[in-house]
Structure 1
């Protein structure tokens, strides 16, 4: 229970830091991000047109918005299994990935593909009305320097580059690696979710690539920290004339 309680201050801290990181006067990076997409051969408006139909769009909407409940689910699952180690590992992943993402947000703020490319309403009429734009008004208010009241229960994700949805989807799959019966269906759902970050989340493709890198880098960092701590705990230490093993 105490391990799960660590999630609450983490959520508060990351939300506050996310809003502080967004309050920057640096120019929006969308022209550069869209240019990178173009250089690697990705046409965001074309992809939007392909996915904006009455069969594909509802599936992507469900997959995209199904990510949020997965975070408390992973925590509750590990509580039920009495796996404090896995719970702490997951919370560490959230903390490390949040730091990576918010540092990148400071240097590369972005409004998103919808704000930059400005598709007409009929071009995304099968997606939600505010697809990829629910954060934009808050982002502009923070960037303007005008007074802003942060209400935790109404806060929205502000990180466009990198795609934190992508990072989180990968980390959740990793966190479920020892529950194979659950990992595989969640992997399929989160694969769809990552696709949905483009038309429903309003991300550039390079945001998604960067998000995947954040997810993988966070896993590597947490594994390295865990390996170091285990090695340190098992290290023999001399006391007086004898030797004890620290565990």
Structure 2
């Protein structure tokens, strides 16, 4: 379990966390540590089980828990990084994103208007938008219980790489979103996004709390990247691959029908997923060549099975 793959992930997670808190300090912001109690408690509760399972050679559960914990901690740090980085105040990319949409014939207000005329379809796609969360949990379980541990490790690395690429792009190309740029009425969650986004850019958001986090990334669409990576992770399982393609295609479509994203965001999300997969493939031989040790050995002893 303790191998190059896990070391790389922990390094990427650590760099993300350090960058987040350095930017918090730079912008005079604070983090509400008590709001992270659930995440901290989850790690504290499950990490010992991962160590014990790995020491007892119960690799499926050890890999599942380790992958899950990596994603929990990374998600927390990444969300904080988006908040801490927004006050960098890079120029808004909305005019450029609108121009890109116009060049390919995409007009978000028209899409939103059509959805308003078909509430059943709109609601179905809204449900699809949020289905990426349970789909991710299903991927962790299915891949984690597979005898080929490389599949779960690959998925978690894809997720981390995709998150880092979208966040780096966001820091240089922030956008207020099509509902602000085009002026159509935002939904309540979109209104909260606008309040947080512009307060951060104005330096009027002093405290970052896990309980009040909103997704701030417009371009590229991380939801699109995420959905593609989830669907791709099921490619080895015929019984679920086709349904996952359909479901996550609906997720990608819903990023526009809900009014959240420009068409350019979706194209950026597709490109990000592709780059994440290609980087992972390039790294795979090196990651798999390293020595693998038990997690328990890091604590000075092996866990011996009875």
Name the structure 2 match of 1:13.
77
CA contact (8 A) 1:131 1:202 kept: no
How far off is 1:210 after superposition?
0.4
Gaps of 5+ in 1: 122-128, 235-247
- In structure 2, how many angstroms separate the alpha carbons of the residues matched to 1:198 and 1:18? 22
1:113 paired to 2:178: yes
Which residue does the alignment assign to 1:2?
Answer: 66
Choose which of 127, 140, 156 in structure 2 pairs with 1:75.
140
Unaligned runs of 5+ in 2: 1-64, 292-306
1:211 aligned to which of 269, 273, 277: 269
Change over 3 Å in CA distance of 1:46–1:160 after alignment to 2: same
Q: Which residue of 2 aligns with 1:137?
A: 195
Q: Does 2:249 match 1:184? A: no
User: 2:60 — aligned with what?
Assistant: none
Q: Deviations over 1:64-121 (max 9, x none)?
A: 1111222222112223335532222111111111111111001110011001111157
* Structure number with higher helix proportion: 2
| Two-structure CA RMSD over aligned residues (Å) | 2.0
Structure 1 runs (4+) greater than 6 angstroms displaced = none
TM-score (norm. length: structure 2): 0.68
Report the counterpart of residue 95 of structure 2 in structure 1.
31
Partner of 2:109: 45
**Structure 2: distance between partners of 1:141 and 1:84:** 44
Deviations 1:1-35 (A, max 9, x none): 33432222212221222222222222211111111
| Secondary structure, aligned partner of 2:208 | coil
| Structure 1 residue 204, shift from structure 2 partner | 0.7
The alignment of Structure 1 onto Structure 2 pairs a total of residues equal to: 226
Alpha-carbon distance in 2 for matches of 1:120, 1:10:
33
Conserved 8 A contact 1:79-1:87? yes
Return the alpha-carbon distance in structure 2 between the equivalents of residues 145 and 83 of structure 1.
48
* Conservation of the 8 A alpha-carbon contact between 1:133 and 1:202: no
**SS across alignment from 1:41:** coil
Q: Is contact 2:252–2:266 with CA below 8 Å preserved after alignment?
A: yes
CA distance in 2, matches of 1:3, 1:23: 31
